Amino acid sequence: MNMTFTIAMLICMFLLMFTIPFLVFMGLGSALGAQPDEIRVLISYFLFAGIVVFLASLGVFVLMQKEDCGKVQSIQKAANNSGLALLIQVVTLVLVWLVAPLRGVVTNLLPPDIDPNISASLGYGYFGAFAGAISTLVGASFSGMCDDVVTPMTMPSLSQLQAQAKAATDNVSKTANKTASSIS
């Protein structure tokens, strides 16, 4: 796996998933005149984040296959890995939504008079960014494995192993005899 490419994609996904809450809570929420805890804003956020993480992951994983294997081996494999990335992202966001103290880890560090849209954006963005980076790393590790590199191994028979052991023993004996004769 190309580490430079992977690290670049991790950083891009981290930044992308960090900015999405600001777009939804401060952009869409403000345009609708809605508060960040209203269900229509949260549903919009989950849908937008889910679509973005799936499509971005699909692109990253296809590029990863192209980079590591020389060609795109399977769109199905990349789509399955993108589904895994989507699952990681959605589970993280639902946990952050349902377990409010998780958001409090970030939002309690902010001044109390800050705009609730900024507070919600930072709370969801923090965890969304790390979930995006982790899901990209997990999916990229699966997408970077080339199918033609993995070949099934056949076990040698007992007689083949015995012949290899005898040949190795004979080589060691010849080398020892040559060394002994050159010393004397």
Cβ(41)–Cβ(32) below 8 Å: yes
Q: To which H or E segment does residue 138 belong?
A: helix 116-143
Q: What is the pLDDT of residue 158?
A: 80
Report the distance separating Cα 168 and Cα 93, nearest Å. 59
51/179: higher pLDDT: 51
What pLDDT is recorded for position 87?
92
pLDDT digits (tens, 9 = 90+) for 90-112: 999 899 889 988 888 888 888 88
In this prediction, residue 11 has a pLDDT band, given cuts at 50, 70 and 90, of confident
Q: How confident is the prediction for the chain on average, in pLDDT?
A: 83
Higher pLDDT, 102 or 6: 102
Residue 42 has a pLDDT of: 83
Please state the pTM of the whole predicted model. Answer: 0.69
pLDDT of residue 116: 82
Rounded to the nearest 5°, which phi and psi values hold at 136?
-65, -40
d(CA 160, CA 154): 12
Each residue of 62-91: pLDDT tens digit? 888 888 778 888 888 888 888 998 999 999
* 158 contacts: CB under 8 Å, gap ≥ 6: none
Residue 38 region by backbone torsions, left for phi larger than 0, else alpha for psi between -120 and 50, else beta: beta
Tell me what pLDDT residue 184 has.
66
Report the pLDDT averaged over residues 155-168.
Answer: 82
Distance CA 20, CA 92 (A): 15
